Structure 1
Amino acid sequence: MAENRASRVTEGIPCWVDAQLPDLEAGKRFYGELFGWSYEDWYRGSVRALKDGEPVAALAHKADGRMPTVWTVYFATPAAEVLARRVRETGGQVVAVPMPMGELGTAALAADPEGAVFGIWEPGTHTGFGLRHAPGSFVWAELYARDTAGANGFYGGLFHDALFGPDAEPDFGRAPVTDVFAAEMPPHFLVHFRVEDCERALAEVNRLGGRVQAGPFAASYGTVGVVADDQGASFAVLER
């Protein structure tokens, strides 16, 4: 059964994802066909993607061509400024300082000591996913790191209760980069969306002009295919 809108903020729970794309309309077509998303206008020209009427992601136009075309996962926090300070104190970097997004909430971008970028979200009226774990919605974030022990220490210090507490449901794993990617691939987060049939989803990615990068392969959390959309943004599809 899918998890509906959360009523509490547990620091360190993945609560939102967005994609920065050169062509927003092309992105809407690609993900609309792949996952059955519909869209509504959202913040400053971005769109919020809906699955079964519930918010699952955002797509935004990438205004600066020098910026990467990527999916970003955001971790919930009750206090973005405080978490940003803790990121710096524990060896990470704040890439974009906490900035209010109107009444929706406050967003920031950070990087861990190996350079993997992630988002920080302090909710306002936008609390995050309205639907997760269901087909066509977020289900998992995997950090591909060079030093998994170091990553466990860093994120465990930031998000101890979410990762290791008695009620932990982290939706967040850590693995060596070389488990899936070439050794020269930089550490990064990979957003996973749930699908009912991984092989069928990979075929659909190809049909829509995307590219299969790896898989399908068995992981501890399901059957995974790593792909890129038709604009180069990487993500994964997960059958479980």
Structure 2
Amino acid sequence: MKLPTPLRVAILTAATAISLTGCQLTSSELPAISDTGTKHIGHVVWHDLITPDLAQSKAFYGDVFGWQFKQVNDSYLLATSDGQLIAGMAELDNKQNASHWLSMLSTDNIAAISEKTVSAGGKVLIASTEIKGRGSIAVLEDPQGAVFSLINTVNGDPAATYSDNRWIWQEVWTDNPEQSQSFYQSLGNYSVQTKTLGENNYKYLTADNKPAIGFVKKPDTNIGNTWVNYIKVANISDTLLKVKAAGGVALMAPTQQVRNGSVAIIRDPAGAGIVIQEQM
């Protein structure tokens, strides 16, 4: 069984940024990501890993974070942490043979956000497409080139949790944090907050009085503007040992100069980058 066409195209877009001109989308089906009946508009509520090797990714994330998995079909599986559904993993061959995490923002109006994105200079890479059982999705590119996704669920969004080995935060790493912050703020009912981190003022958006999206000046001009996701861990040193043993790489080891040594940047064996954070 092949990966559902809308998700395949969305995944390929995020992973390789290829042209989508002329692509035909069809209806398909995937399990719901939640049955809460409640939406968390403006928040990242889901993550899909795009990988050229599903078995390799399953082994890595299972070994490092203790995730368990449920196979949906030959090309897609669901990941759980202590029984809670937290992510999907999709296999898709691509020329770069690279892995990528795709962040999905909850919305109840994909069309309106798509229109605002285009008006601001961004792009609609995949127009709103229904996936039976899950809801509607779209894939957009913001005005600075960072790719993100929208989801309008049919059964509600997962509730946020802050347990070990689960998602805890997300940021846009960008050439111009002020412009990125202004763009995303225009997409919904967000408020801007500022927090002092060391000698820097860190700006982030809140939705419903809860933190939603942070903005960071990207550390390397050679990388593209991108969304970066954080996973909470109990012990960052122990986790880095697991990353290495499972075939991953530490791109940045903990350092006191960056959030008091509480974070590290890792890459999975196929190239997907994430930040791990130990709560201080």
TM range (shorter): 0.7 to 0.9
Corresponding residue for 1:199? 237
Q: 2:134 aligns with which of 95, 104, 119?
A: 104
Provide the rounded CA distance (Å) in 2 between the counterparts of 1:111 and 1:67.
21
Corresponding residue for 1:230? 269
Q: What is the CA-CA distance between 1:7 and the residue it aligns to?
A: 5.1
Provide the rounded CA distance (Å) in 2 between the counterparts of 1:115 and 1:32.
31
Residues 22, 65 of structure 1: 8 Å contact kept: no
Corresponding residue for 2:146? 116
Corresponding residue for 2:23? none
Provide the rounded CA distance (Å) in 1 between the counterparts of 2:103 and 2:217.
19
Residues 10, 162 of structure 1: 8 Å contact kept: no
Q: What is the CA-CA distance between 1:59 and the residue it aligns to?
A: 0.6
Q: Pick which of 11-20 and 86-95 moved more.
A: 86-95
Corresponding residue for 1:137? 166
For the residue of structure 1 that corresponds to 2:169, the secondary structure is: strand
Corresponding residue for 2:102? 72
Say whether residues 1:215 and 2:244 are aligned partners: no
Superposition TM-score, scaled by structure 2 size: 0.76
Corresponding residue for 1:172? 213
Q: 1:228 to 1:153 in 2, by over 3 A?
A: same
For the residue of structure 1 that corresponds to 2:210, the secondary structure is: coil
| 1:44-63 alignment runs, 5 A limit | 45-63=75-93
Say whether residues 1:36 and 2:66 are aligned partners: yes
- Residue type of the partner of 1:109? V
Residues 72, 191 of structure 1: 8 Å contact kept: no
Q: 1:155 aligns with which of 178, 184, 191?
A: 184
Deviation string 1:122-179 (CA, Å, 9 cap, x unpaired) is: 1113x3435632111111112111101101110111133366567322342101012x
**Gap runs ≥5 in structure 2:** 1-33, 193-204
Q: Pick which of 78-87 and 224-233 moved more.
A: 78-87
Q: Which runs of 4+ in 1 moved over 6 A?
A: none
Provide the rounded CA distance (Å) in 2 between the counterparts of 1:128 and 1:105.
11
For the residue of structure 2 that corresponds to 1:140, the secondary structure is: strand
Q: 1:122 to 1:155 in 2, by over 3 A?
A: same
**Gap runs ≥5 in structure 1:** none
Aligned pairs, number: 233
Provide the rounded CA distance (Å) in 2 between the counterparts of 1:214 and 1:5.
37
Say whether residues 1:84 and 2:114 are aligned partners: yes
For the residue of structure 2 that corresponds to 1:227, the secondary structure is: strand
Larger Rg: 2
Residues 117, 143 of structure 2: 8 Å contact kept: no
Residues 139, 171 of structure 1: 8 Å contact kept: no
Residues 198, 223 of structure 1: 8 Å contact kept: yes
Q: What is the CA-CA distance between 1:110 and the residue it aligns to?
A: 0.9
- Residue type of the partner of 1:228? R
Q: Pick which of 60-69 and 158-167 moved more.
A: 158-167
Q: Pick which of 33-42 and 6-15 moved more.
A: 6-15
Superposition TM-score, scaled by structure 1 size: 0.88
Provide the rounded CA distance (Å) in 1 between the counterparts of 2:136 and 2:233.
30
- Residue type of the partner of 1:157? S
Provide the rounded CA distance (Å) in 2 between the counterparts of 1:132 and 1:222.
23
RMSD of equivalent CA atoms = 2.4
Residues 52, 97 of structure 2: 8 Å contact kept: no
Deviation string 1:38-72 (CA, Å, 9 cap, x unpaired) is: 11133773111011111011110013335752011
Provide the rounded CA distance (Å) in 2 between the counterparts of 1:233 and 1:99.
25
Q: What is the CA-CA distance between 1:79 and the residue it aligns to?
A: 1.9
